[in-house]
Structures are given as C-alpha cells and as structure tokens.
A and B are shown apart, each in its own frame.
Chain A
Amino acid sequence: MLDIQKIRADFPILSEKVNGKPLIYFDNGATSQKPQVVIDAEAKYYQEINANIHRGVHTLSQLATDAYEISRVKLQHHINAKFSHEVLFTSGTTHGINLVANGFASILKPGDEVLVSSLEHHSNIVPWQMLCEKTGAVLKVIPINQEGELIISEYELLLSEKTKIVTVNHISNALGVINPVKEMIAKAHAVGAAVLIDGAQAVPHLKPDVQDLDCDFYAFSGHKMCGPTGTGILYGKEAWLNKLPPYQGGGEMIKEVTFEKTTYADLPHKFEAGTPNIAGGIVLGTAVDYLNEVGFGNIQLQEKKLLEHATKRLLEIEGLRIYGNGKNKASVVSFNIDGIHPYDIGSIIDKLGIAVRTGHHCAQPIMNFFCIPGTIRASFSFYNTKEEIDVMVEAVKKAKTMLS
C-alpha cells in the first residue's frame, strides 16, 4: 500500500494553489508532475558535471558521458531491451515516430500498406500520412467499436502481405483504452509486417517489456513519466535500426566524413546527431528510478482504485456519458454531459482549481467517430486521491447547474 500523503510530499507543485483553490491536477495524460528528486537532479547536473558528451577527453566530459550512458542502460533494463544500443534518446514520442516513419521512406513502394488505428494521437497519424504521400503507399485504418475498442477481427482482415508496418498506441490518450498490442504484434509478424507501438500513455502506468511484446519499435516520452520535457526514448530492434537510414545528419552520428563520402557511426549514435538534451537524458533515468522505487504494482493498484471511484461517482451525474468503456482501461475518464460543450465545463471547473483537459485531445478522428466536438478528460496519477475526485465531481455538478 502506498502512503499517498508521503508520495504527495515528493511533488512540490501539488501544494500550490490555483485561482485561490488547492490545485487538483487531473491532466496527467498531457504531462505528469515532477518529484523533487527529478527537479534536484536537473540542477545538480548543471551545477556539477555539465559538459558536452562523447567527445572531450577532459574529466567533466567523461563524467557527463558516463551519466548519460548509465541512464541509457537504466532505460534499457526498464523496458527489458536486449541491448543498450537499441535504446535511442529522442526529444519525445513524436520525434521517435517521425524517425521511424522517415526511415521507412526508403523501404516502402507504391501500393504497400501502412496500418494505423482509429485510436491514434495525431502524432501517430500525420507522420504516416506524410510517408504515404512521399512513397505512394496506402494508409489503412483499424476501426473501433462503440466502447472505443479496436475491432480485432477487422484488423485481421486488413492485414496482408502488402502491410509493411502497423502502428498503434499501447494505451489511447483520448479514452484510456489499453490495446491488446501483444496479440496484434504477433498477427502483424505473421504477414511479415513490422510494428511500432506508441507507448506515450502507457509508460506512466506500466513497465513495457519490449522483448515479451516482440514489438519492432516502441516510442515514449519522458515528461509523462515524471521526467523532464523534451526527453524520450525510441526502442528499436537492432536489425531494424541497422536497416533504417539515419534521420538527421550532423556531428556525433558519423564515423568518418570526407567530401566524397561519409560513413555513419554505429548504433545508437547513428540516430543521435548533434548535442542531445544531456541533462534531460540523465534525469529521465532519475525519473525511472523514482517510479520503480514507488513500484509499478503500487502505482497500478492506486490508479485502479481512482478509476473505479471516478467512474462510479461521475456516473451519478444525470446525462453524463463516459467514452471508452472497455474492460482494459488506464486511469483515464473521458466524458461529456448531454447538451453541454466540454469547453464550458472545463472553464468553470478550472475556476474551482481543477486541471482537466478539454477538447479533442489531438485525436480528432475519435471525436468524429462519436460525433462530438471533444470531451472532458480527467487522467489520474498515483499521487491523486479519491478526495480530489470527490471535489471534481462536485465541481462538475456545479458547472452543470450553472450551464443548464
């Protein structure tokens, strides 16, 4: 059992006030708050070991390089990658997805197919559309049912030898649905297609095991898992990363440069051109340590309680509909109230100190599917409490009364 008050004390922002009210932060799906250890680690890097990495012979550069590479190994173990060079530092999920989509431009031919799901964030749709425009490949979409779950039988029908890559999120950002990715990966591999998993919304809640999933790529962001903004990881199987061309050219990613020909560095540096976000990469390791110390078992237990409580309490409100009601769900509740625009509810409960996300959550196709302009999304983290949910429910009721 987690001592929630002790956990909350780790996050200084949770004792801030917003609009004169104690902050209730339910926008964890957008970004998580940061514990003091993470904030301190960022300062400590700049105070004690700031230097450029992988090039200097001087001691500071060595210290910074070691810290950066130790963090890479931490991340490798965290996701159970076979090799640390399969773990690329990126600026976030979007960067990781674009890196892969860009690489596939040299692989796809006209008529090949790319499969995305209806549940994707725009950042896992647009790079693939751009890829298809560039190569003449065709984008196909896996549909969802009324509960917001992917229809696996339809997915099977879409898979064929034309399918070259399948890209799907582990957990939907807009609805919180957990997708059966392991099963989907096996089915894609059966037709010879590669699979990229967008893990942005999964990593705050679970520890992905990339070898067990057998995914070819797994992209995620650091800032959603208590780490700094502008950090992320792209995992790729060694064979795939060797096959894909570099994404950006520059320093650090080369072996030898002449004006006639440049040879590229080995993995992972081939994909890490330029000076990276050194502090961020190191501190992402600190964030992962912190989460593992709290324990993902504890995190899931607490978040399950919060999800159940929020679902039960919100459904007490007449005319409230929750989108995404599958059995497997992360601690996200996406809802609307009949006849009321989500913007109006969001604006009023913000005045009451509650931070939720309103709008289409960068997933317009899902909103179009449900024929709604958007939803109100409350996404909970392990540091949230049932009492906070009760305050939100009262705030939503108040907003409803004002707006009806």
Chain B
Amino acid sequence: MTIKEIQDEIIDEFSMFDDWMQRYEYIIELGKSLPLINEEYKTDDNLIKGCQSKVWLQGEQNDDKIVFTADSDAILTKGIIAILIRAFSNQKASDIINADTQFIDEIGLKEHLSATRANGLVSMIKNIKMYALAFDAKNKN
C-alpha cells in the first residue's frame, strides 16, 4: 500500500469514533500494542528530546525501503507513534520525503503535533524525513 492509501485507511478507521474519548482509548490501545523497540536502539543518539515526553526513533534500510521502530515514555505519544510508523515504515525513501502529515489533522490529533505540546512528535516527523533524505542520498551515490 502507498503512504496515501494507508493514511486514508487510518482516516476511515477514526471516522467510526463519535467522540474524543473513543479516539483516545483507541490511541492508548495502539500505544500499548506498539512492538517494542530493541533496547539497544534506545540510545541518546536516537532520543528526541521533547520538553515533556521522550521519543526514541530508529530507522533501518531494508532493500529499497526504510523500516522504523520507535518508543516513548508517554502512552498517548506512543499511540501516535504507532500511527506514524504504520504510515511511514516499510516505504521507499522518496515516498517518505514527499508524503505529508495532513491525515493527523483529519483524525483529530492536530494538537498533539503542535510545537507547544513539546512531546517530541514534531521532531519525530522531522527525523523520519531526515532518515529518508539520508538513505536517499546514500542510494544515489
């Protein structure tokens, strides 16, 4: 599936919820079920420091695709990470670079991606793109 198709699928899933509580409960579930990041990747180098919650992000190349794993110490942040990983992991570098994150607004989580939340998610998206740019540059060489 393309990133856009996955994002549309996520929007579809969230449209079933009537209110924020159901949305949050789902995100909490996603957070709990996020596959654990390999402990060796929870290094300071992989740590994205938000003011409030921490995010660890690790990207690896698998053939022509990038696989991301991540973790956070806050469960809501972790749930949103799970959504981002679903959308961006196992995709081609060039597709990741060109993808947008508009779908987060559409599923009603816009405020979690605002800079004032300082939860590491804004930097996480930036870092996902940075990984993609780095892999893309490496592959072109």
Question: Which chain A residues have a beta carbon within 8 Å of chain B's beta carbons?
Answer: 19, 340-344, 347-348, 351, 358-360, 373-374, 402-403
Chain A residues, Cβ within 8 Å of B25 = 402
Q: How far is the CB of B91 from chain A (nearest CB, A)?
A: 28
| A358 vs B76: C-alpha distance when bound (angstroms) | 14
Chain A residues, Cβ within 8 Å of B24 = 347-348, 351, 402
Q: Which of A19, A344, A360, A402 contacts B74 (CB 8 A)?
A: A344
| A343 vs B117: C-alpha distance when bound (angstroms) | 9
| A401 vs B53: C-alpha distance when bound (angstroms) | 20
Residue of A nearest to B72 (CB): A341
- Whether A343 and B20, one on each chain, are in contact in the complex, defined by CB atoms closer than 8 angstroms, is no
B75 at the interface (CB under 8 A from A): yes
- Whether B52 and A358, one on each chain, are in contact in the complex, defined by CB atoms closer than 8 angstroms, is yes
Residue of B nearest to A341 (CB): B74
- Whether B53 and A402, one on each chain, are in contact in the complex, defined by CB atoms closer than 8 angstroms, is no
Q: Which residues 23-73 of B sit at the A interface, judged by CB distance below 8 A?
A: 24-25, 28, 51-54, 73
Q: Which of B20, B28, B118 contacts A359 (CB 8 A)?
A: B118
- Whether A373 and B21, one on each chain, are in contact in the complex, defined by CB atoms closer than 8 angstroms, is no
Q: Which of A341, A348, A351, A403 contacts B53 (CB 8 A)?
A: A341
B112 at the interface (CB under 8 A from A): yes
- Whether A343 and B28, one on each chain, are in contact in the complex, defined by CB atoms closer than 8 angstroms, is no
When A343-B74, A347-B112 are in contact, do A373 and B53 touch as well, CB less than 8 Å? yes
| A373 vs B21: C-alpha distance when bound (angstroms) | 25
B7 at the interface (CB under 8 A from A): no
- Whether A343 and B52, one on each chain, are in contact in the complex, defined by CB atoms closer than 8 angstroms, is yes
A-B contact sample (19 more), CB < 8 A, given A341-B74, A347-B76, A351-B21:
A19-B20, A340-B75, A341-B75, A342-B52, A343-B52, A343-B53, A343-B74, A343-B77, A344-B75, A344-B76, A351-B24, A360-B52, A373-B52, A373-B53, A373-B54, A374-B52, A402-B25, A403-B28, A403-B75
A-B contact pairs, 24 of them (CB 8 A): A19-B20, A340-B75, A341-B74, A341-B77, A342-B52, A343-B52, A343-B76, A343-B77, A344-B74, A344-B75, A344-B76, A347-B24, A347-B112, A348-B76, A351-B24, A358-B52, A359-B51, A360-B51, A373-B52, A374-B52, A402-B21, A402-B25, A402-B28, A403-B28
| A343 vs B73: C-alpha distance when bound (angstroms) | 9
B119 at the interface (CB under 8 A from A): yes
Most buried by B among A340, A344, A351: A344
Q: How far is the CB of A123 from chain B (nearest CB, A)?
A: 15
Most buried by B among A341, A343, A358: A343
| A360 vs B52: C-alpha distance when bound (angstroms) | 7
Q: How far is the CB of B29 from chain A (nearest CB, A)?
A: 10
Chain A residues, Cβ within 8 Å of B28 = 402-403
| A53 vs B121: C-alpha distance when bound (angstroms) | 47
| A351 vs B51: C-alpha distance when bound (angstroms) | 20
Q: How far is the CB of B113 from chain A (nearest CB, A)?
A: 12
Chain B residues, Cβ within 8 Å of A340 = 75
Chain B residues, Cβ within 8 Å of A374 = 52
| A168 vs B24: C-alpha distance when bound (angstroms) | 41
Q: How far is the CB of B93 from chain A (nearest CB, A)?
A: 31
| A402 vs B118: C-alpha distance when bound (angstroms) | 22
Chain A residues, Cβ within 8 Å of B51 = 359-360
Binary interface profile of B, 84-120, with partner A (CB < 8 Å = 1, else 0)?
0000000000000000000000000000100000110
Residue of A nearest to B73 (CB): A341
| A186 vs B65: C-alpha distance when bound (angstroms) | 67
- Whether B75 and A359, one on each chain, are in contact in the complex, defined by CB atoms closer than 8 angstroms, is no
| A246 vs B11: C-alpha distance when bound (angstroms) | 59
Residue of B nearest to A374 (CB): B52
Q: Which of A19, A343, A348, A403 contacts B119 (CB 8 A)?
A: A343
Q: How far is the CB of A311 from chain B (nearest CB, A)?
A: 24
Residue of A nearest to B53 (CB): A343
Chain A residues, Cβ within 8 Å of B118 = 359
Most buried by A among B24, B25, B28, B52: B52
